[in-house]
Structures are given as C-alpha cells and as structure tokens.
Amino acid sequence: MEKFTTKSTSHHSQIVNEPIIIDDGENTRKIFIAELNDTKLHTGETVSGTIVHQRKNKKDEWENVEAINLNSLKGGEGVKLNLRSAHVKNLYDGLTKLYALSMKGVNYGEKEYVIGTSDEIITIPAKRKKYIEELLQANHGEEVWKELIELNPDLATKLAYARIQSNRTSALNEFKNSLESNNKSEDYWQEFFTNNDWIFGYGLNYKFLVIESDQPNYGGENYTGKGKQKGDYLAYSESEEIKFTVLVEIKKSNSPLLAKTAKGDNVRYRNGAWLLGSELLGGVSQLQINCKTWQKSAEELKNKPLIDKDIFTVKPKGILVIGNTKQFNNEIEKLTSFELFRQSISNIEIVTFDELYERAKYIVGNISKIELNKSDENFDEYPF
C-alpha cells in the first residue's frame, strides 16, 4: 500500500504532496510533481505535472535545480533528459496510482488517501474508526472483545480467524526462509512445530492432529513419567468422541535421504537402486520402536487411555519428518528409491520438510474455504 496526501488548489484541482520518484541517486534525483483535475473525468485527462531535477543542499535537503527557459535556447542548443528503463517503469507505476486516485474526483481541502489492492485496505467509516481508537486508547480492548462476542459472535469469529491467518502467514514465511537457509537444528524445528501445530493439524492425511506433549516419554508409567525412550511429539487424532495417539519424530531439513560417500556423493547400489541415508533408516527404526513401546504400555494397562479418558492407543501411527526432496535433483532413480521405500513401510508415514511446507502453504492459501467461510453473503459488508 502507498499513502498520498493532497491539497486542493480549486474546486476542481488538487496537488499531490508526495512526488513520484523517477531516479533516486545519492545526491541528485528526478521526480514528478503531480496535479489532479476532475474537469475531464469522462475522458481520463486527469493528471498533469512537472518533471523536476533535484539535488541535496548543505543541510542534506532536496532542492530544485534552477529551471532552464527552453524558449531562450538558440539554434543548435537543446536539453536532453535520459531515462533508463527502470526510471520509465517508476514513472509508469507512479502515474498508474495517480490515475487511480484521480478517479475519485477532487475533494476540497487537505485529504489523505491509500492506494492498494482490496485485500490490503481496511475500510472503516470515520466515526466508527474514531470510536474504536478511543476504546483502544482507554485500554478497553478485552471488554470490547467480550461485548463483540456477545453482540455479534459471527463477526468476532471472523476477526479471530483474520488474526490467525496473519500469524500463519508469518509462520509460513519463516518456514520458507528456514528451508532456504538449510542449516536449522532439530531443536529449532521442534520449537517451530510446537509453536505452529496447525501445520500438522491439516497436513497429515488431512486429519486433525493435536499436540499432547513434546519430548514425551514412551517407556514410563504414563507419557510424563521417567524413562529412556524419548520422542519429539506425542499427538492424537481429533474427533468428537474417541481419539487415538500418534507419535511424531522430527529430524532436520538437511538430513540426507540417501547415503553419501566421504566426498559427499550419493551411493548407487545396483540396477537403479540407491542406498538410503542412515538418518532416514535410523529415524524409521526409532519411530517403530517407540510405537511398539507405547502400544505395549497400553496393553499393560489393558488398553485403558494413557493420556486422557477419550484418547486411546491402538497400534499407534508414526510420522517421521525428515529431509528435502530437492536433494534428488529431479533424478528419477533416486526419487524412486526413496518413494518405494516409504510406501513399503507399515504404519509409518515419512514426510519431507518441503512437502510439509507445501501443505502449510495450502492451508494458508485456502483459509477462506477452511475457516473464514467467505460464502457468507454478508462477508464483504463487514467493516473490518
């Protein structure tokens, strides 16, 4: 979004205080100073202005270079203004915004406008905006929220979902940046997924998975007891009546999915088959043992709930998050070796970090379908 302020010079014209910066150098720049006029709205002839060359003075302030009277030029004399393609684009983009602003017509006095896409701009009537600001400044936020829930629960729900969407978008950006850096530790990823458990909630087999405990104990009397077998997450599938435990193990995004030599090359076995990485094999083995131990604990308690009265353990499923498919460099033999292996594993789902990112991206991109319910015919009428 970009903000413009204007000042009327007549009932049909106004100047734009913010110049369009065409060429921005360290000590000199070229700008376009615009004036808007609404007398020819029907023809679109609404923007005029002046291109000005400026330089910084001793106070580090921009000042106009003394103008040249073109009428005083003699034969053979001339003035040339060079604009590179980037400068022309800056001028074009600025004029596009100015023409959009000019279509609103001239409003007398000093005004402030915001140019942006519809999903960037929040429109609130002036009086309502004033009341909201006064309530927030008086620290009545909690009381206002409670009153809003009571008076208009649907609107309160939509506002809450909007905040959730904003937080998830930020988390998605962090996820992307962390994948690109490709140097995050297991502890980092565990904390990240703990803070953003919604990624697992929608991502895996499209079941709701709720995080019950991080670093759970799988070998004690219950999931918080002391024992030697530790896991990254203990989750459970969500339903209204009965829930089942799910064990999750987190490795690193740069964990090798294929075995490597001392020089860092992948190891081909034979006939197009490639050896799998030790972290991948070890992670699967670890998760299988954890699932077996957790199942044994449930059997010793005669299948009574280990966590909560509604959460049961019946051959718990394991989920291993590890590596990145970019490691395969689109080489079909390597990808096939990995894919055949993970499809052959019983009750263990192997998900790579980039696949989990794509699922998280789907959730954020489809938030309106999942939660906001934009099919509500009054959705666009809400002022927030």
Give 253's pLDDT tier (boundaries 50, 70, 90).
very high
Angle in degrees, 0-180, between the axes of helices 141-151 and 153-181, rounded to the nearest 10: 120
CATH 3.40.91 matches 163-370: yes
Higher pLDDT among residues 238 and 276, named by residue: 276
Pick the closest to residue 357 from 324, 335, 312, 330 (CA basis).
324
Per-range mean pLDDT, top range of 94-103, 128-137, 163-172, 252-261: 252-261
**In this predicted structure, what is the pLDDT of residue 107?**
79
Q: What is the pLDDT of residues 327-372, one digit of tens each?
A: 998 899 999 999 999 999 888 889 999 999 988 888 887 754 444 4
- Give me the amino acid identity at 150: E
| Lowest mean pLDDT, pick from 84-88, 176-180, 184-188, 190-194 | 190-194
Structural domain boundaries in the chain? 2-115, 163-370
Give 100's pLDDT tier (boundaries 50, 70, 90).
confident
Type and span of the H or E element at 186: helix 186-195
Longest dimension (CA), the chain: 105
Q: What is the pLDDT of residues 36-70, one digit of tens each?
A: 998 888 888 899 999 988 888 888 888 888 777 77
User: How far apart are alpha carbons 139 and 136 in whole angstroms?
Assistant: 5
Average pLDDT over residues 84-89: 91
- Give me the amino acid identity at 229: Q
Strands 243-250 and 311-321, sheet pairing: parallel
Instruction: Inform me whether the pLDDT recorded for 146 exceeds 80.
Output: no
Instruction: Sort 372 into a burial class: Cβ within 10 Å, 0-12 / 13-18 / 19+.
Output: middle
Residue pair 236/176 in contact (Cβ under 8 Å)? The answer is no
Per-range mean pLDDT, top range of 69-83, 99-113, 366-380: 99-113
Give 259's pLDDT tier (boundaries 50, 70, 90).
very high
Higher pLDDT among residues 62 and 375, named by residue: 62
Higher pLDDT among residues 169 and 235, named by residue: 169
Give 111's pLDDT tier (boundaries 50, 70, 90).
confident
> Which pTM value belongs to this model?
0.51
Instruction: Inform me whether the pLDDT recorded for 102 exceeds 50.
Output: yes
Q: What is the pLDDT of residues 113-138, one digit of tens each?
A: 776 665 555 565 666 666 666 655 66
User: How far apart are alpha carbons 306 and 314 in whole angstroms?
Assistant: 11
Per-range mean pLDDT, top range of 76-80, 276-280, 313-317: 276-280
User: How far apart are alpha carbons 365 and 49 in whole angstroms?
Assistant: 41
Average pLDDT over residues 203-224: 47
Residue pair 171/196 in contact (Cβ under 8 Å)? The answer is yes
Pick the closest to residue 283 from 323, 234, 339, 329 (CA basis).
323
